[in-house]
Amino acid sequence: MTDDFLSSVQQSDARVGDLEFKLPSVKRDSRIFGAWFHAPIKKLLKLIQGEGIQPTQFLPGIGFIAVSVYEHRDTDIGPYNEFSVVIPLYSPRFPKIPVYNFFKMIATDEMHNFLVHRAATSEDAVRILKEHFLFPEFKASIEFSESDDWMTCEVKEGGELICRLRGRKIPTQRGEVSKYFISTPQHHQPQVVEMNQIQMATTRKPSDAELTLGSTHPIAVELSDTLKSVKPRVYAYVPNVQWAAYGPEESL
C-alpha cells in the first residue's frame, strides 16, 4: 500500500527564481504529532482572513485550533522540520451543522483547514512554501527530543520561545490515505494535500499531550489569547507518514 501511494504520484519540475523543486512536493518519510484545542468561534474568525471561510464548530460557538510539529526525514529537498497552527473549517460537501459536519469529514478521511502560521527549519523549504504555495511560512528553530514514552518539540524564532509541545508515544494502527484541503491568508482556494498514514493513532485523553506557550512571542501571545485552555481535546500521533502537496495549481 505504501509503494502504491508513492508510485501513483507523478512529479514535474518547477522553480522559484533560481531554486528548482518538484511538484507535487513529496515527503517520503515523516512523523507528526499534534494537539487540538477548543477556542471560541468569535476569536477564530479574527484569525481567518477571507470572507466565506467558516471554522467548523464542534460545539455551538466553539471550534478548534490545531498545533502540530513535523519531522521530515526524507523529502525532495532534504530533511527538515516544520511547525503549524491551523483552524479546521467546515467542509462545503456537507451541511454546516455543528458536530455533524466535523464527524462527516472524519468519516470520509478529509479535512478542510485554514493555515494561520507555518514555520520550517530549511531556508529552501521556507522559500518554496512561501513563494509558490503561498503559505504563511517563516524560518524557525524546531528541535525534537524523545524518551521511551514521550516526544517533545520546542519551537523558537530568534531564540524566543513560541511553544513546547509534548506528546506520548501511544499505540498505533495502520491508517488511511486522507485528503487535506488547505486555505491560506494569500490563497483562499483550497490546495490539496494527500497523506498516507502508515502508522497513526488519536486519543481524547488530555494526559497524553502537553502544550507550553512562550510569554512574549506574538504567536504565543495570540494562542494564549485565543485558546479557551491549553488542555488538549484531541491528540494525534503519526510516527510514519508520507504525503504529497500539490500546490495552488491543483486548487479546488
CB 225 within 8 A of CB 44: no
Q: What is the DSSP letter of 207?
A: G
Length of the chain: 252
Eight-state DSSP code of residue 250: G
Q: Which residues have C-beta within 8 Å of that of residue 46, sequence separation ≥ 6?
A: none
What is the reported pLDDT for 251?
Answer: 64
Classified as helix, coil or strand, 43 is helix
What pLDDT score was predicted for residue 249? 80
Cα-Cα end-to-end distance for the chain:
26
Q: Which domains does the chain have, with CATH numbers?
A: 2-250 (2.40.400.10)
Task: Measure CA 12 to chain center.
Answer: 24
pLDDT at 1: 43
Position 3 scores a pLDDT of 54
Query: What's at 248, amino acid-wise?
Result: P
Q: What is the pTM of this model?
A: 0.95
Per-residue pLDDT band for 90 (boundaries 50, 70, 90) equals: very high
Least confident span in 48-52, 105-109, 185-189, 194-198: 48-52
- Residue 136, pLDDT > 60, answer yes
pLDDT tens digits along 151-206? 999 999 999 999 999 999 999 999 999 999 999 999 999 999 999 999 999 999 99
For 14-31, how does the pLDDT look when each residue is reduced to its tens digit (9 = 90+)? Answer: 999 999 999 999 999 999
**CA distance linking residue 26 with residue 160, whole number of Å:** 30
pLDDT for the residue 252: 55
Task: From 73, 87, 169, select the one nearest 121 (Cα to Cα).
Answer: 73
Distance, CA of 158 to CA of 164 (rounded, Å): 15
Cβ-in-10-Å burial (0-12, 13-18, 19+) of 18 comes to exposed
Q: In the structure, how many helices (H) and strands (E) does the chain have?
A: 5, 14
Q: What mean pLDDT value characterizes the chain?
A: 94
| Pairing status of strand 110-120 against strand 137-139 | parallel
Percent of the chain clearing pLDDT 70 (strictly above): 97
Q: Give CA–CA dist 21/108, Å, rounded.
A: 31
